[in-house]
């Protein structure tokens, strides 16, 4: 059976060159060194305790320092988080204000564009109406009834039979009037042509258009009307663009004016959170209250300016509508003066026409007298016709 040394050698724990006595001596020396070290430590208990006390103090100091730093870090983190929340709230408020301003501006632009479209459509309709009236086409669906009434009044000068004949002639003339006007023949031209027909100076069935001078004057007025309309529209657009640019600049200035007071409020809140002295805290709270009051004053001023801007916008829109209406009124008056017609849709000319037809039975002088009398009677019927026209439009 192998010895213990041979087993150590075979397992690789001991080198085969070293003998068992050498190993025992080495182990014994190691044990002796450990014993001496333990004896030395047992002989110096006070020195060991001092070192342990120093080590404990160092550890306590390290823990205390780390505790202070941890508390400072936690406080700084809390302050930073609170500041971040406040800034996020302020940023959201500013974004909401910008969005509200943007929506108000878009709504104002939409309303303005809709209003301008309506104004332009109304203007075009008025111009078309004036052009239709200027071209001499009748717009009264009661032309037959009106012609019969005026013809009957004029023909009644010759008794009951004259009234019946005048009413019949007036009804026929009123029925044929839209067809005569279809080719842009003017009312005065119709009157002249009818007189020529009754006197035998014109070939029946011939239709003469207005003179070139009248056409040129009518076209010049339309071109001038279009130019002034474009100029007025461009002026309104320039005013609107300038106003919008001013509103954007004013909004930018207001936002910039709020940045510094808000930053100062944040700084004061930070100082107030760190301050422990009661007197200093009261001073900071008083200063913070003044800054908040300043912010409130700026907010009230901004609201007042917003109300003023809305009032100015309404006044500007009213002024622009007044300018457009004045332009329409002026051109309407010019068109009426150029066409030579009164406000009752050609009732005077129609009365003169039918009166001339009824009076032409007595010759040229009778035609002239009948035309004058028919015009005078039509003037008397003007208020009634205007009332009837308004009722028609309301229906």
Residue 364 has pLDDT above 50, yes or no: yes
In the prediction, which pLDDT does 207 show? 39
Mean pLDDT of the chain: 67
What crossing angle do the helices spanning 143-155 and 347-359 adopt, rounded to 10°? Answer: 50
In the prediction, which pLDDT does 13 show? 46
Put simply, whether the predicted model's pTM sits higher than 0.95 gets the answer no
Count of beta carbons in the 10 Å neighbourhood of residue 234: 10
Percent of the chain whose predicted confidence (pLDDT) is above 90: 0
Consecutive H or E run containing 348: helix 347-359
Q: What is the pLDDT of residues 279-330, one digit of tens each?
A: 777 787 787 788 778 777 777 887 888 888 888 888 888 887 888 778 777 7
In the prediction, which pLDDT does 318 show? 84
Q: Three-state DSSP class for 70? A: helix
In the prediction, which pLDDT does 263 show? 74
Q: For residues 314 and 368, what is the distance between their CA atoms, to the nearest angstrom?
A: 55
The residue-averaged pLDDT of 232-246 equals 80
Q: What is the pLDDT of residues 131-175, one digit of tens each?
A: 555 544 444 445 666 667 766 666 665 566 666 666 766 666 666
Please check whether residue 374 is in contact with residue 362, taking contact to mean a CB–CB distance below 8 angstroms: no
Q: Which residues contact 87 (CB under 8 A, 6 or more apart)?
A: 266
The residue-averaged pLDDT of 219-230 equals 76
In the prediction, which pLDDT does 265 show? 74
Cβ-based burial of 29 (10 A; exposed 0-12, middle 13-18, buried ≥19)? exposed
Q: For residues 284 and 292, what is the distance between their CA atoms, to the nearest angstrom?
A: 12
Q: What is the pLDDT of residues 36-60, one digit of tens each?
A: 766 665 555 556 566 666 777 777 7
Q: For residues 229 and 323, what is the distance between their CA atoms, to the nearest angstrom?
A: 10
Q: Residue 255 — very low, low, confident or very high, per pLDDT cuts 50/70/90?
A: confident
Q: Residue 203 — very low, low, confident or very high, per pLDDT cuts 50/70/90?
A: very low
More confident position, 178 or 248: 248
């Amino acid at each position: 059976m192998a010895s213990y040394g041979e087993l150590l050698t075979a397992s690789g724990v001991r080198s085969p060159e070293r003998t068992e006595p050498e190993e025992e001596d080495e182990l014994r020396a190691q044990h002796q060194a450990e014993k001496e070290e333990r004896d030395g430590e047992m002989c110096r208990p006070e020195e060991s305790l001092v070192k342990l006390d120093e080590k404990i103090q160092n550890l306590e100091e390290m823990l205390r320092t780390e505790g202070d730093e941890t508390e400072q870090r936690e406080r700084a983190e809390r302050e930073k988080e609170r500041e971040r929340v406040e800034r996020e709230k302020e940023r959201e408020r500013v974004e909401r204000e910008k969005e509200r301003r943007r929506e108000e501006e878009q709504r104002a632009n939409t309303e303005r564009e809709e209003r301008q479209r309506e104004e332009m459509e109304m203007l075009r309709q008025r111009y078309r109406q004036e052009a239709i009236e200027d071209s001499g086409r009748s717009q009264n669906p009661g032309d037959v009834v009106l012609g019969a009434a005026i013809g009957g009044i004029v023909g009644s000068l010759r008794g009951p039979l004259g009234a019946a004949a005048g009413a019949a002639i007036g009804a026929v003339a009123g029925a044929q009037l839209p067809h005569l006007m279809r080719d842009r023949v003017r009312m005065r031209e119709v009157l002249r042509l009818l007189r020529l027909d009754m006197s035998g100076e014109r070939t029946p069935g011939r239709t003469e258009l207005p003179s070139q001078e009248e056409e040129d004057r009518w076209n010049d007025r339309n071109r001038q009307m279009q130019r002034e309309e474009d100029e007025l529209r461009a002026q309104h657009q320039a005013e609107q663009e300038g106003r919008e640019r001013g509103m954007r600049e004013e909004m930018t200035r207001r936002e910039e004016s709020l940045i510094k007071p808000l930053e100062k409020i944040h700084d004061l809140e930070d100082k107030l959170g760190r301050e422990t002295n009661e007197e200093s805290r009261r001073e900071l709270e008083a200063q913070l209250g003044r800054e908040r009051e300043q912010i409130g004053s700026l907010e009230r001023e901004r609201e007042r300016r917003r109300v003023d801007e809305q009032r100015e916008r309404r006044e500007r829109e009213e002024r622009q509508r007044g300018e457009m209406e004045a332009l329409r009124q002026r051109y309407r008056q010019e068109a009426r003066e150029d066409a030579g017609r009164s406000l009752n849709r050609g009732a005077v000319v129609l009365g003169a026409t039918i009166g001339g037809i009824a009076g032409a039975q007595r010759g040229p002088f009778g035609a002239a007298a009948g035309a004058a009398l028919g015009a005078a009677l039509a003037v008397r019927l003007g208020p009634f016709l205007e009332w009837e026209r308004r009722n028609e439009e309301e229906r």
